[in-house]
Amino acid sequence: MIVLPESFERRMKIMMGNDFPAFSQSLANGLFHSIRINPRKITNLPDLEAVPTCSTGYFLEQRPIFTLDPLFHAGAYYVQESSSMFLEQYLKQFGKKKLKVLDLCAAPGGKSTHLNALLSDDSLLISNEVIHARAQILSENLKKWGNHNVIVTCNDPKDFSRLPGFFDIIVVDAPCSGEGLFRKDPSAMEEWSEENAAHCALRQRRILADVWPSLAEGGMLLYSTCTYNPVENEENIQWLSEFARTEPHALNIPESWGVVTTEANGYPCYRFYPHLVKGEGYFTAAVRKLEGNPQEPRQKFKSTLPLANKAEQSLISGLLQQLPISLLNFEGNYLAFPTDRLTELDQVKATLRIIHAGVKVCEIKQGNVIPAHELALSTLTNKNFFPSVDLTLEQSLHYLKREDFMPDLKEKGWNMFTYLNHPVGWAKNIGNRFNNSYPKEWRIRMSTSEYTGEKLMEEARKFPIKRDISEEK
C-alpha cells in the first residue's frame, strides 16, 4: 500500500467516503500507457484498445522505449495520459468552425498537439508557455506534430490583456499541486503540502483573471488541473463564475466512462479518479463568457510582414503543397503561414514574444535552397520534390543520433529520409558520404548500442504503430 501524506489522506477519506479504499488501492496499481495518434500523419488506425473519450487515443499493452521508435520522433503520435484526452469532448462541439484558440499553459504540448489535431486547417492556435526552457520543448513538439497554423509564444498570462476579445477558446491547463500524479510521479508526493496547494489555488485565480480579457464575448474558457483538491478545482470555477458574467458549459457523457460529475455554483465539473478510469487523476470544467469585448470585425488586410518576392516564391513553392499559404522572408529564413491568418500574426508579433510561427521552409544561400528540418516533419511538405530514401529501423536510429552510416542514397544533393514512409529529416549527399542535417539539439542522446539485431526487433514489436517487422533488413 502506498503511504500518502497525512492531511491529503484525511481530506480524501472525507471526500470519497466508501470509495476511499478502492481509490487508495488503485494508487498502488500499475500505470496505464496511452498514446494519441496524429490524424494528419497516421491514417491506418492501430489495432489497439481505444480510449473511450478520444477518437485518436489508444492504450498500449506495454510501454515501449519510445526513444527507439523513429515514428515518435516523426510526430506520428504523442505519448499522453488518457484522462487529459477528455479535452476532445469540449472541442468536438465546435465542429470544423474557424476558431482562434489560446493554450495558455502549454508545455510540453499534450493539449496543444491535441488541439491542433482537432482544429480545422483555417483555425489558429496560439500555444504559450511562460518558462522559456519549457517553451523550447513545446516548440520542438509542435514542429514535430507538423501543423502550420500555430504560433508558439513565451509570455506571462497578463501579457494577453493586450489582445482584448481575441480568442474564441482559451485553454488553461493550470500549474497545480499535482495530487493526480502521485501514482505516475511519486516525487509529486514529496513536493506536496497543504500550503503549496493553497498557493497554487491563488496563482490559478491570478492566471484566470489575467487572461480573461483576451476571451471574446461568447467564447469558452476550458479549465483543467491534475489534482483532486477542491480549492484548486470547483472553488476556482465558483470564483470565476462570481468574478465575471459567465454561464455553465455542460457535456452529455455516458456513465460507462467512469467520469464523476460534480458541481460548483451550478457549473458542472468533471473529475477523473484512477479507480474508475484507466488513467490518472484529473479535473476539468468550462465556462462561457457572457459579457466582455466582442471579437473585432476583421479589417481589410494591411500586413507589415515581409512577404517573399516573386523570384523567391518560384524558387521555393515546389517544396510545398499547393495550399492557401504565404511565404514570409525574415532575413533569409522563409516561413510558411496561412494567408488568411497573416493579420493575426501581425497582431501577435506586435504584442507578444514569438518563439516560432508557422513552418520554417528553408534558407536560400547563393541561390541554393537549403530545406529546414521542420519542413520535413510538416504536413505542408511536398514529399516528391526531393528524392526520398526509406531507412531501416537501425539506420533511422543512426540518423537520429547523428552517427555515421551509409544508406543507399539515390541522387546527389538533398534527400529526404523516411521511416515506414514517414519523413524523419534531410541529408545532403555529397558523393562519398552525406551530411546529416538532423538538429543537434534534438538528437537521441540515450545509448542505444545494446539495441541491435533481435533485441531491437523485440522492442520494435511493442511500438504502437503496426509495422511488418520482416520489412527490416
Least Å from the CB of residue 235 to ligand SAM: 18
Selected from 5, 46, 175, 387, the binder of ligand SAM by CB under 6 A is 175
Q: x/- contact string, 206-235, with ligand SAM (CB under 6 A)?
A: -x----------------------------
Q: Which residues contact 446 (CB under 8 A, 6 or more apart)?
A: 67
131 touching ligand SAM, by CB under 6 A:
yes
Least Å from the CB of residue 128 to ligand SAM: 8
353 touching ligand SAM, by CB under 6 A:
no
Alpha carbons 369 and 311: distance in angstroms, whole number: 12
Q: Among all chains, which residue has been given the C-alpha cell 483576451? A: 214
Q: Which residues contact 41 (CB under 8 A, 6 or more apart)?
A: 74, 75, 76, 146, 379, 422
Least Å from the CB of residue 236 to ligand SAM: 14
Helix (H, G, I), strand (E, B) or coil at 355: strand
Specify the stretch interacting with ligand SAM by CB under 6 A; choose among 109-117, 240-248, 354-362, 447-455. 109-117
Which candidate, 133, 135, 78, places its Cα nearest to that of 111? 78
Specify the stretch interacting with ligand SAM by CB under 6 A; choose among 129-137, 214-222, 388-396, 462-470. 129-137
With contact defined as beta carbons under 8 Å apart, do 279 and 82 qualify? yes
CB closer to ligand SAM, 198 vs 307: 198
Least Å from the CB of residue 38 to ligand SAM: 15
288 class by beta-carbon count within 10 Å (0-12 exposed, 13-18 middle, 19+ buried): middle
CB closer to ligand SAM, 183 vs 398: 183
106 touching ligand SAM, by CB under 6 A:
yes
With contact defined as beta carbons under 8 Å apart, do 87 and 169 qualify? no
Specify the stretch interacting with ligand SAM by CB under 6 A; choose among 127-135, 186-194, 313-321, 349-357. 127-135
* # binding residues, ligand SAM (CB under 6 A): 17
Which strands form 77-79's sheet, in the order they lie side by side?
49-50, 57-60, 33-37, 77-79
What residues numbered 176-205 form the site for ligand SAM, per CB under 6 A?
203
Selected from 109, 230, 274, 464, the binder of ligand SAM by CB under 6 A is 109
What residues numbered 372-431 form the site for ligand SAM, per CB under 6 A?
none
Which candidate, 245, 208, 224, 9, places its Cα nearest to that of 115? 224
| Structure-block grid coordinates of residue 44 | 491506418
For 100, phi and psi rounded to 5 degrees?
-115, 120
CB closer to ligand SAM, 2 vs 79: 79
110 touching ligand SAM, by CB under 6 A:
yes
Rg (CA), the chain: 23
Residue whose Cβ sits closest to ligand SAM? 110
What residues numbered 27-86 form the site for ligand SAM, per CB under 6 A?
84
Alpha carbons 230 and 236: distance in angstroms, whole number: 8
CB closer to ligand SAM, 226 vs 308: 226
Least Å from the CB of residue 129 to ligand SAM: 5
Q: Among all chains, which residue has been given the C-alpha cell 497578463? A: 158
Sites of contact with ligand SAM (CB under 6 A): 84, 105-111, 129-131, 134, 157, 173, 175, 203, 207
